[in-house]
Each structure stands twice: as structure tokens, then as C-alpha cells.
Structure 1
Amino acid sequence: MKILIAMHKAYPVSKLAGYLPIQVGAELSDQALIQDCVPDNTGKNISRLNTYYNELTALYWAKYNLQDEDIIGLVHYRRYFGNRASHDLNDVLTEETIRSTLKEVDVIVPKKRDYFIETQEQHYLNAHAELPYLTMKEVLAESYSEYSATFDMIARSTKAHLFNMSIMRQADFQLYTDFLFGVLEEVAQRVDMTQYSGQDQRSLGFLAERLMDVWILTNNKTIREFPLVTTEKTNWLDKGTQFLLRKFLPNMKKRTHF
């Protein structure tokens, strides 16, 4: 089992068995590699594209370099699956819990985020560049038509499993990443990502968050949700204020991920 902990800087991480810190975008870094981290620029990789794919460069690396593992997952250096919602690394899921859960369901996912007053599509378009998202809809309709109806249904929902976090068995992981990178690579062929700056340059990573549920539902995969262990506390007042400003004042400068 390998649960990748995506990292871009030195940071205290879980030391539990089965977890593997990985430095994303290692190919682009002009600094020394993070100690005790596997770099994502070995073997077959897209490390140089981390600017556009975010933590997905770790998933891509795992797809081709961890094929002997039974179970593959992805978490973040500040965000893990936990037995309860907390800020304590002692609550992070153990290998025993993960293995026993995957005997009962197909995929471990984070608890759904509910935006209540806007759909997933509205939320995305209020916060990000529109063209990559609209292009992804076209790609699904034209090249992955069996997923298109599910995507449209989820786009109208206020709820989704986010953060590109999941844990699943190897066979499912390969099928999921075939779909995920197939869609994103076609989007990248149609949209020049270099035209964007700031967070919009990372659009492929944000688009991926909208694809995991599409794959799960279309393929009738069973899931179990777990709460998050977050190593840093969220300023919910600030986050909520920015959410409302993006919705009701769409022309303002957007602040989304902080």
C-alpha cells in the first residue's frame, strides 16, 4: 500500500506505515529536494507540468511507478483522511483501517463539500477561468460520452467530493487514472494553459476535482466517506466571505484557494 502525501515544501507529515511523502513539481524546483521525500520526476512522469496539474503529477507518477502496490491513494501534506475531523496527525487512517474498509467498498473519499446556495458548476465558474471547464464538457460529450450525463447531473448538484483525494485498489486506480488523464490531456491539447497566470494556470488540477465523482458514479463504484484531518486550521469567516463575494460580485479579484 502506498498513500502518497503530496508536498511542495518541508513540513511535518504522518509517519504511519503505508504513507509515502512525494515532492510534486520536483523537475521545476531550483531548490534541494525535500528530505525524506520521493521526487515525482523519476521514471515515467509529468513533473514538469506541475504548474498545470497540481498534485496530479504525484498520481501520474504512481500510475506508472507503483504498479506493484495493492492499494494507491493520495492525500496532502496539510490534509489527510481521518477517523474523526481534527487537526491531530494521531487521527490519520491507519493501514489496517484502510485495508479493512476496501474489503467492503471500492473507494475511500473525503466527506462531501456542500455549497448550498450554488451548484458545483456555478461554484467552479465563479472561482476559475471558464474556458478549460467548458472545454472539459466538450471533451466528455465528444470523446467520453458514457460519462457526459453523469457529469451534467453532478454539475447541477451542490455537493461533491473534492481535493483530488481518494484511496482505492490498484485495478480501480488504473481505470480511474486512464479516464482522468485521458480527459485532461485532451483539454490541454485544446486550451493553451500558458495563457493563464496565478491559480488559473493550475486549471487542470482543479478540473480533476470535478471528474472523480463522475468516474465513481458512472462505473457504479461503492464509496465510504471519511472526515479530514487538517494540520492547519481554516479561517471559515474569511473563506465564507470570499465565497459570497465571488458569487455576488463576480467581477472582483478572486480569492479561492488559501
Structure 2
Amino acid sequence: MIKIFIVTHKILPLLSNEILIPIQVGKNENITETILRDNTHDNISEKNNNYCELTAMYWIWKNIKDVKYVGICHYRRYFNFFNPIFNLKPSAQKKINSSNFKRTKIFTSNTLELENKINSLLKNHDIILMKPYKFKNTTLTQNYCKEHRQEDWELVKKIIIEKYPEYKKSIIKYLDEGVLFHVANMMICSKEIFDNYHSWLFSILFELETKINIPTDQYQARVFGFISERLINLYVYHNNFKIKKIPSFRITDL
């Protein structure tokens, strides 16, 4: 069984079926009466302003059982499994409007076709991630420190080394010197890998949360979401995962 959760906060996603399941995050009123919410059962929904899609990922980690593969995408970002015309270089993420999305076979609402595609990809790979951006004149660490608070980044690296000292060399290799950046926290993998990763990730972020003051700026307040986008890169490369890198597309008018 495969479940890919489409994280949303303001509109109903364009796709929904037995595999593609919308999940609403945050405090807004229900988009529909029946939409799945991340504020039920074991949850951290109240942290959404700071953790972004991670509140949905926490909910999936804690509450979804009996699935073989699990993953997330976003209401306006999807993996491009089916249409190679949108795989043209150099960008790993193509832009498309919702009208073209409905007319062009980039994704599919056919559950059997989608299930077969994902099963075939994960037969020989550990995880599906977005095709990475490759920095030319900077690194993941330099990029984060330029765009966000450097002290938070240095502290999270310190926490990782204290909790997981085996990551020390990998931090240098894949963060301080690393130039590949799989963005958006989008992934599909076995539930076992998903659970192990999020157990590792939240042990780090929850400790970081106790040691920093969350920025008052609404954008920078998404600190844990921004940091986690970089840490998935550290985790998959440190653990030598076989990664299937899939181009993606972003719906521009949503």
C-alpha cells in the first residue's frame, strides 16, 4: 500500500485519490468537512507556523500504520513522474499553471499506474527525492547562513554532533562543503525509512527549539522548516541511500 500526502493549508489540491491524500495543516478552518487534518491524534499542529510541512510529517510518522511506502508532496509542488518534456535542464523544478496541469500528463490520477510507477522506482532505490539544485559558488551551509540566521545553523550542527557524533565528518562533507540541495522536504520511501528519519530529525529540532528564540519575522519564523530542508540531504547521503532523483514542477497560480 502506498500513501502520498499532499500538504495544503488554504485550498483543496487538484488531485485526490486512494494514493494521493490531501492533509490540511495549521489553524485555518476546514477546507472541506472531510479533509484530513494534522491537528488530530498525536500531533504538533500548533507549531505549524515554525515547522511548516513538518507538522504533517510528524502526524504521518506517529499515526499512519500498515503502509509499505509513504511520502509527501505539496498542493502546488509535485514529482514529475510521467512527462519527460518537462525534464529539460538546467532547472530541476519546472513551472506550470493549473490549466496546463489538468491537460498535461505530468502526474496521474490513475491509482494503478501511479502505484506501479512508484513500486518500480523503489524496487532498486531507497528513497525518491526531488532532483537537487547544484550550487555553483556556494555550499548548503553558506546558503543557509546567507538566507537565515547563522547562529541557528551553527547550533543545530553542534546538537547533531553531540547526539550523533558519527555525523561529524558527514556534516563537513555534505553541508559545509556540500553543493547538492534536495528542496521542499518532498520524499517517498518505505515507512520504516520514513519513521527512522523523522525520529532522528525531531530529536534534533525539538532540542534546538528549547535553545533559540524563534524569529518574530513571519518568514524567518519558519526556522525549523528551513533547517529540515537541509538536514534531509545530510541524512540520506550519510546513510548511503540509493536515491531516485525525480524532476518536479510547481503550479504557479495557486
Residue 182 of structure 1 aligns with which residue?
Answer: 203
Q: 1:16 to 1:116 in 2, by over 3 A?
A: farther
Q: TM-score, normalised by structure 1?
A: 0.83
- Kindly indicate whether the alpha-carbon contact (under 8 Å) linking 1:69 and 1:170 is maintained by their aligned counterparts in 2: yes
1:153-181 per-residue CA deviation (whole Å, 9 max, x = no partner) reads: 12212221111111000111111111111
- Partners of 1:166 and 1:191 lie apart in 2 by 28
Residue 216 of structure 1 aligns with which residue?
Answer: 236
Residue 4 of structure 2 aligns with which residue?
Answer: 3
In the TM superposition, residue 192 of structure 1 has moved relative to its aligned partner by 2.3
1:120-158 per-residue CA deviation (whole Å, 9 max, x = no partner) reads: 111111111222211101101111111222122122122
- Kindly indicate whether the alpha-carbon contact (under 8 Å) linking 1:110 and 1:225 is maintained by their aligned counterparts in 2: yes
- Partners of 1:72 and 1:172 lie apart in 2 by 9
- Partners of 1:150 and 1:141 lie apart in 2 by 10
- Partners of 1:119 and 1:110 lie apart in 2 by 18
Amino acid at match of 1:74: I
- Partners of 2:18 and 2:41 lie apart in 1 by 23
- Kindly indicate whether the alpha-carbon contact (under 8 Å) linking 1:17 and 1:95 is maintained by their aligned counterparts in 2: no
Deviates more, 1:211-220 or 1:169-178: 211-220
Pairwise CA RMSD: 1.8
Would you say 1:92 and 2:107 are equivalent positions?
yes
Would you say 1:166 and 2:187 are equivalent positions?
yes
Would you say 1:34 and 2:31 are equivalent positions?
yes
Higher relative contact order (CA 8 A, sep 6+): 2
Would you say 1:117 and 2:114 are equivalent positions?
no
- Partners of 1:218 and 1:157 lie apart in 2 by 12
Residue 232 of structure 1 aligns with which residue?
Answer: 252
Corresponding residue SS for 1:80: strand
In the TM superposition, residue 16 of structure 1 has moved relative to its aligned partner by 4.6
- Between the aligned residues of both structures, percent identity stands at 32
- Kindly indicate whether the alpha-carbon contact (under 8 Å) linking 1:7 and 1:21 is maintained by their aligned counterparts in 2: yes
Corresponding residue SS for 1:146: helix
Q: 1:72 to 1:4 in 2, by over 3 A?
A: same
Would you say 1:198 and 2:218 are equivalent positions?
yes
- Kindly indicate whether the alpha-carbon contact (under 8 Å) linking 1:70 and 1:169 is maintained by their aligned counterparts in 2: yes
Q: Which runs of 4+ in 1 moved over 3 A?
A: none
- Partners of 1:60 and 1:42 lie apart in 2 by 11
Aligned residues: 229
Q: TM-score, normalised by structure 2?
A: 0.85
- Kindly indicate whether the alpha-carbon contact (under 8 Å) linking 2:44 and 2:59 is maintained by their aligned counterparts in 1: yes
Would you say 1:134 and 2:135 are equivalent positions?
no
Q: Any unmatched runs of 5+ in structure 2?
A: 87-93, 109-113
- Partners of 2:193 and 2:155 lie apart in 1 by 26
- Kindly indicate whether the alpha-carbon contact (under 8 Å) linking 1:72 and 1:170 is maintained by their aligned counterparts in 2: yes
Residue 143 of structure 1 aligns with which residue?
Answer: 163
- Partners of 2:218 and 2:65 lie apart in 1 by 34
- Kindly indicate whether the alpha-carbon contact (under 8 Å) linking 1:14 and 1:92 is maintained by their aligned counterparts in 2: no
- Partners of 1:122 and 1:167 lie apart in 2 by 28
- Kindly indicate whether the alpha-carbon contact (under 8 Å) linking 1:109 and 1:166 is maintained by their aligned counterparts in 2: yes
Deviates more, 1:122-131 or 1:161-170: 122-131
Residue 13 of structure 1 aligns with which residue?
Answer: 14
Corresponding residue SS for 1:150: helix
Q: 1:12 to 1:67 in 2, by over 3 A?
A: closer
Residue 54 of structure 2 aligns with which residue?
Answer: 56
Corresponding residue SS for 1:91: coil
